[in-house]
Structure formats: structure tokens, C-alpha cells
Amino acid sequence: MKKKMTIEDVANKAGVSKGTVSAVLNGKNTVKPRTRDHILEVMKELNFRPRGMARNLKNGVDDKSIGIIIKDLNYPFYTTIATGVAEYAKSRGYHLIVTSSENDHESEKKFTHLFSTKDIKGAIIAPIVEGEAEIEHLFKLKMINYPFVLLEDVKGIQANVVAVDNLRAIKKAVKYLIDGGHKKIVHFAGPSQSTHTQERIEGFRDAFSESPLIFNRDMIISIGSRFEESYGNSKNYFANKRPEDLPTAIVCFNDQQAMSVMTVLRELNIRVPEDISIIGNDDIYYAKLYPVPLTTIRAPQREIGIKAAEILINNIESSELLSPERVVLQTEFIIRDSSRTLI
């Protein structure tokens, strides 16, 4: 094994002081751009990883930790992924620190800065891509060679990613509805900037391209992914709909959104699945306990966490700079009581 590179090694190789290297690591603007770029190149060449406030345990063994930034502590999809991360991390001698951005972009930025400046070896990130969210903090992690794995593709960032095959998953769900006689199907989409949203829309469209039915953009209704937001938007959607204009089936962005839609339909005395079939996405652990057990797409949440942790720790422990990996896991379509065929 090669020895771990230090700030002193980088400084010697780059021909600058340790203070200058430290200024680059901390994002200070006191370093000339040309010098900064040179130091960053040397860091990559040496596979240098920044080391924060490292402390050894009394037995002399490093207290090795990794972190995960999820979006919502209340949504079981992310907490189950974190469970898989913790399980694998423990098998490799690492502790897991779990944080949540709570869908706040500034919180995500602060946590990535905290992780990279303390002695947390690497991070798994469920990135926020909604609204005006920028990705400068992810570029910074790349620049300083800090190991991280994303749980969703982010446009413009070449990084390790572990995701599911959203396109194929939604396509299978829509094909089930079309084959079952549904002709008035809509997709309640998630955040417009999310690659998950775009992949699911593409899968929805592809299912129609292989059927006699015609796809049009009016079938895609963006209502958000969180309960409160999607509840309000779905209520607005149904408010002015005549009974004859209602869809016979709705494919939802995730199970949380599906629950909000089912809540609105219950308030409007619209029956599930007699009047409208509902399909969710993720198969969170209580989806089968909904008032009407939810037909949904089961994502391998625990396996996502395990694979993300494996890639992250392999990068942390490698003495060489590894090429980014993109792993796509398959899903399973689970039929329960919230959907029915019409033929």
C-alpha cells in the first residue's frame, strides 16, 4: 500500500507553501487562479484526500466514518437506503453519520462542506435538483478529490452514481394499465429538474409508443414529490374536472405522492380503484398498509445503500484515483388493491 499523501507532500510537489494548499482546500480567494488550478492537478496526481480534525481512538485505530445526506428523514425510501449503507459500512469497519437536508439546498451545501472539512472519509448524497439549485458544492468536492456517491444523476457532474432503471420501471407499469384496458392514463410527475422525473416521463411516453394509444403532453401533470405540495396540487387538478374527464388511472412519481392523491380522492368521494386506479413508486414499507394497499414499483432500497457504500469505501481505500462508476439496479412491479383492469 502506498502511504497516504499529506498537505506537505502536495506543497512540495506543487512548489508552494502548506498554507497555500490549505487556502485552496478551504476555498479562500487569496490564491491566484493559475496557482489554485496547479495545486488541484497535483492533488489529483497524488490522489491526495483532505484530512480534517482527525483523532485516533485510545487503541490507536482510526475512527473511520462516512456520511450520508438524505432528503427527508420522514420518507422511508431514504431511511431504508441509509440502513443498507450502515450495514455495509460496519462490515468494512466504518461508522455512518446520517444527516438530512430536509429538501433544503443550503443545508445540503453545508453538510457537504462539513463532511469534507472534518475527518469524514466520504459521502453518499441524495442531491437536491429542484428549482434554482446549483451544483457548485459538488464541483468543489470533485476539485479536492473528496470521495462521494450520488443517488441520482446530476447534469454536468461526472461522479459515482447508484440509481434504478426508472424508464423501464414506469414503462412496465403503464403497459400493465394499457393491457388492462385503460385508455385515460396520466402521470403525476415529480420535480421538473430531477433526472428521476425525466426518466419516468420518458418511460411513460415509451409505453404509449408501443401501443395503439397516442401520447400527448397533457398526460403529464407536475405536482411535486412531497406530501403537502402534491396534496395541494392534486386537489387543484381535480377541483374543476367533470366526472367524464377524469382519468381511469394515475401513475405517481413516488409512494408519498400517491398517498396524497389517494387522500384527495377520498375527500372527493372518488373510489380507488373502482373509479381511478393508483400506482406508486418505491414500495416504502408501509405502502401495503395504505387505506387501499398500493400497487407500486419496488425499488431495491437496501441494495442501493449497500452498493453505494461499497463504491464509496473502495474509492476511499484505493491508492489510485478510480474512474467513476454508474450502477443501475432493476425494480419489481408489485400489484396490490389500488389498481384494477377494465377488461
Q: What is the pLDDT of residue 50?
A: 72
> Which regions of the chain are under pLDDT 50?
1, 53-61
Q: Which fold has domain 65-164+301-329?
A: Rossmann fold (3.40.50)
Distance linking the first and last C-alpha atoms of the chain:
65
Q: What is the pLDDT of residue 96?
A: 97
Domain ranges of the chain: 7-46, 65-164+301-329, 166-299
Name the class of domain 7-46.
mainly alpha
Q: In the chain, which ranges are continuous DSSP H helix?
A: 7-14, 18-25, 33-46, 76-91, 105-117, 136-143, 166-179, 195-209, 227-239, 255-267, 301-317
Q: What is the pLDDT of residue 331?
A: 98
Q: What is the pLDDT of residue 54?
A: 44
Q: Given this chain, do its domains 7-46 and 166-299 carry the same CATH topology?
A: no
Q: What is the pLDDT of residue 41?
A: 84
Burial of 98 (0-12, 13-18, 19+ CB in 10 A): middle
CATH 3.40.50.2300 fits 166-299, yes or no: yes
Contact 264, 238 (CB under 8 A): yes
CA-CA-CA-CA torsion for 86, 89, 93, 95, nearest 10 degrees? -50
Smallest CA-to-CA distance from 193 within 232, 220, 224, 148 is with 224
Helix or strand or coil: residue 55?
coil
Q: What is the pLDDT of residue 51?
A: 64
